[in-house]
Amino acid sequence: MAKPATALNPVTITDWQDVRSSGVLLHVSSLPSTFGIGDLGSSAFDFADKLAKSGQRYWQILPLNPTNAGAGESPYFSSSAFAGNPLLIDLMALRDDGLIDKADLLFPADLNPHNVDFDRVRPLKLKVIRKAAAKLVMDGLPAEFTEWRATQAHWLDDYALFTELERIYTNTSWCDWPVALRDRDSAALEKVRELHAAALLETEVLQFLFFRQWSRLKTHCNELGLLLFGDMPIYVSYDSADVWANPEIFKLDSDKRPTMVSGVPPDYFSATGQLWNNPVYDWSALKSTNYLWWVKRMQALFERFDIVRIDHFRGLVQFWEVPAGSENAIGGSWQDVPTYDFFDALYRACPEFPVVAEDLGVITPDVVEIKDHYNFPGMLVLHFAFYDDNHDNPYKPENHAQRALVYLGTHDNNTTRAWLDEADDVIRGRYQIYLQEGEAPEVTDSMLKLLMRSNANIAIVSAQDLLDLPVRARMNNPSTPFGNWSWRLSADEYAAISFEHLAELTRGSGRWVGGR
């Protein structure tokens, strides 16, 4: 891709990229809790304290957006790119704020300590959180809510309307709603606001409660010197407030149905490619607005996180689009993105642009060019170092780039214990050359030491690997659409994490930050 003469050349070599440091990957929902799902409460604050005391600089999490059963509870297929997940609200804080009673905290004792049972947890938690919202409304909404709602107006009203219409037209995609609602006729929407004012306000209050708690946690982390590292999928779900409210920026037909959808082409791993079925962006339409929707999205993310990982970064350079209704991704084609113009617009709106590019897999020279131009650090996965004997393999320790983040595996990979258990003799032979140590269970710790010794400036360790957990602790298997995203730590497992050992690894590899 040729670089246009007008492209900006922003200086993004900032402190966070250049300091040798480390952190831990653990999603909020995976924290221990007596309420069936991790939340923004005491465990989150305690985890932040322990990370800081062990010399870490980063707490990496997955997207915080609402999840739903229809999308397998994936935070990457949400009903909103802006909203927060009410299931992560801390009930104890609601009690402390006087919004619920002690009796509301009595949850079943048989909730699974190792996995989130969303079918049970969702109705239990939402009943209590809605009671808190009703109490807040009854007592008189504080000025803090009014001010917050005004700052979030660009997405909040649409999200509340979409949520209520989804409830009214259960199991019906928004393109099949009455035409006036599908096409957002102003009179029809105003009637919904009048008839369902209480429900709309409840949705807004739930979001307020979520973001008030998130702000408290972020403030606590930042006061400790800890940076919160968030995640952003580049695509949004078709069944979302984002597409319903902004149909002009997606490739849809006159009935608001997708004409083209997302995926990746056939490759070594899949002869038919991967069909994701998200609606793809109409980049010409986006450009005509100076990428306003994307600007607001990034501004919201930078308010909530200190650093943001852009998932499938490759799709912001070129993307694979497939005709809607296709059985697989074979019949797709590559389409260009006005990448320099796009990122220059984002930089003008957000001069501080702390972004990590998820560049795993097959990456073409044009993607490398964009990363280098904007100084975006990429990602390395140590598991991938042992799949071939190619001396140029970028994942091999001797080839690790300094401006990068290195992992044993991400949330999409198996735990290192399970990966090692499933490894064949050839792969075992390759990693033993590097480790020069014994078989499991010592190997996982040896891999952690290899990770921390990497030349990459930032090393991220998953909580699963700190505990050497087996396959049951895998967060996501991309080859299966359901049965993912539910793993969480039991109280005993959380207590077993050796933050002292993490501190030793951090000091020994020169990654200790802050002197805490």
Map 302-333 to HEC letters.
HHHCCEEEEECHHHHCEEEEEECCCCCCCCCE
Structure-block tokens of residue 123? 């109705």
Closest CA to 400 of 25, 58, 20: 20
Q: Which residue has the tokens 């300094």?
A: 402
Q: Would the CA dihedral through 340, 341, 342, 346 be positive or negative? A: positive
The candidate with the shortest Cα–Cα distance to 161, out of 230, 103, 241, 224, is 241
Q: How many CB atoms lie within 10 A of CB 415?
A: 25
Peptide bond into 441 cis (omega under 30): yes
CA 471 to chain centroid, in Å, comes to 21
The residue from 358, 359, 445, 465 that is catalytic is 358
311 catalytic? Reply is: yes
State the catalytic residue, choosing from 97, 104, 412, 493. 412
495: its two tokens: 């207590």
Residue 421 annotated in active site: no
CA distance 467 to 383: 17
The catalytically annotated residue of 164, 202, 311, 468 is: 311
CB 514 within 8 A of CB 225: yes
Q: In what order do the strands lie in the sheet with 58-60?
A: 355-357, 307-311, 227-233, 58-60, 21-25, 458-462, 404-407, 378-381
Catalytic site positions? 311, 358, 412
